[in-house]
């Protein structure tokens, strides 16, 4: 039996073709969105209401409709994203995977570290249940199973980084698809807002993140596992429409939340804050709605994606159905990785050609049609 170290080294060799193509962080990401967003401290428009006290190291309040950044603190500061990275995973994979396609997770998928929904590697799950599990209860096993459906972890990480580049989320580097702490994995409050804005243009994403309670199939026939959202704003904030929370010991709490009120839809992003994040998020959203009603000008802009016809890179093409070995990331007791998750491997089972498909992405002002 091969040791974990030998398996990890073998996986690293297999993953290199994917990882070599991942974009590096931009040298000056603070120019994205406007000069005022270069600030490391708080930036707020003149004449706006007084800001609430906050504990987050970085945060952004923005208008999802217009993309205007209403206020921010250290918006381009890079921090470990924890499970808020799953918003990028979902935004990358939802347009590629048929929600009705059936996926059988691998043994490594279901035995990943951290939060899990309880997938079983002898059960076939529809893609829609895997997205629900990943976004509602932050299932790391569901995130890896979606990578399985997409052709492997290495391929998925490569495509996530290309998608971050397309969105101009240049503070963001993905090393895994589930947000577990990994050396070299970063995002920023600005990028999380940018990714959220793109993701909320996808009707399936809006459906998943607004879900409070759901069921997924259990290990035995005709059984089900009940799940409930970890997003506290969905239960406590009028007009909340969800998105995603995250937490590890090293990253502390992170959060992306959105709400609609008075014809406006706002997003708030928090990085490196207290575990009881939702009162802070609620206070910033309240401030944002007051500032919007008062006609406060913004301090920056959530930029539009790079036009795909102008992009010099394109996502990797679907791979043929195959079965290869994948190594799970191991974690120490404090949540830090024993082995960098960038070498977590490659390939696994692709459940037939019906799993992969493409959709044209929407652009322009964000419209939120009814679910």
Residue positions annotated with a catalytic role: 83, 86, 138
Q: Residue 326 has what DSSP assignment?
A: -
Count Cβ neighbours within 10 Å for each residue of 100-120 and write b for 16 or more, e otherwise.
ebbbbbbebbbebbbbbbebb
Distance CA 242, CA 260 (A): 10
- The SS3 of residue 291 is helix
Distance CA 151, CA 15 (A): 12
- The SS3 of residue 337 is strand
Distance CA 63, CA 263 (A): 11
Rounded to 5 degrees, what are φ and ψ at 165?
Answer: -65, -40
Inter-CA distances, 336 with 83, 171, 248, 274, 318, Å: 14, 21, 9, 19, 32
Pairing of strands 58-63, 264-273: antiparallel
Distance CA 184, CA 308 (A): 27
Which distant-in-sequence residues (6+ apart) come within 8 Å of 177 by Cβ? 85, 86, 89, 143, 144, 146, 147, 153, 156, 157, 160
**Neighbour count for residue 330 (Cβ, 10 Å):** 15
**Neighbour count for residue 278 (Cβ, 10 Å):** 20
Distance CA 197, CA 84 (A): 13
Q: Which two tokens stand for residue 218?
A: 């259990």
């Amino acid at each position: 039996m091969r040791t974990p170290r030998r398996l990890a080294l073998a996986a690293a060799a297999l993953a290199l073709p994917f990882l070599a193509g991942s974009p590096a962080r931009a040298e000056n990401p603070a120019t994205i969105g406007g000069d005022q967003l270069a600030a490391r401290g708080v930036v707020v428009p003149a004449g706006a209401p007084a800001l609430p006290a906050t504990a987050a190291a970085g945060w952004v309040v923005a208008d999802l409709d217009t993309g205007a950044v209403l206020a921010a603190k250290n918006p381009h500061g890079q921090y470990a994203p924890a499970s808020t990275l799953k918003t990028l995973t979902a935004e990358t994979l939802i347009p590629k995977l048929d929600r009705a396609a059936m996926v059988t997770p691998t043994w490594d998928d279901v035995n990943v570290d951290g939060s899990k929904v309880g997938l079983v590697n002898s059960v076939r799950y529809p893609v829609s249940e895997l997205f629900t599990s990943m976004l509602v209860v932050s299932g790391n096993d569901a995130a890896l199973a979606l990578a399985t459906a997409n052709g492997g972890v290495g391929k998925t990480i490569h495509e996530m980084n290309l998608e971050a580049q397309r969105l101009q989320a240049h503070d963001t580097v993905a090393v895994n698809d589930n947000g577990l702490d990994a050396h070299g994995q970063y995002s920023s409050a600005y990028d999380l807002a940018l990714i959220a804005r793109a993701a909320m243009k996808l009707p399936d994403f809006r459906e998943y993140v607004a879900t409070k309670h759901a069921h997924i199939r259990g290990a035995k026939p005709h059984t089900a596992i009940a799940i409930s959202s970890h997003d506290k704003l969905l239960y406590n904030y009028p007009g909340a429409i969800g998105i995603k929370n995250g937490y590890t010991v090293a990253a502390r709490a992170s959060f992306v939340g959105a709400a609609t009120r008075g014809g406006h839809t706002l997003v708030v992003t928090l990085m490196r804050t207290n575990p009881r994040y939702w009162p802070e998020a609620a206070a910033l959203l309240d401030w944002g709605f007051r500032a919007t009603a008062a006609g406060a000008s913004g301090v920056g802009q959530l930029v539009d994606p790079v036009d795909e016809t102008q992009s010099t890179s394109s996502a990797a093409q679907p791979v043929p159905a195959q079965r290869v070995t994948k190594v799970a990331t191991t974690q120490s007791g404090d949540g830090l990785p024993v082995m960098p998750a960038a070498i977590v491997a490659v390939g696994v089972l692709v459940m037939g050609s019906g799993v992969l498909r493409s959709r044209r992405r929407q652009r322009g002002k964000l419209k939120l049609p009814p679910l």
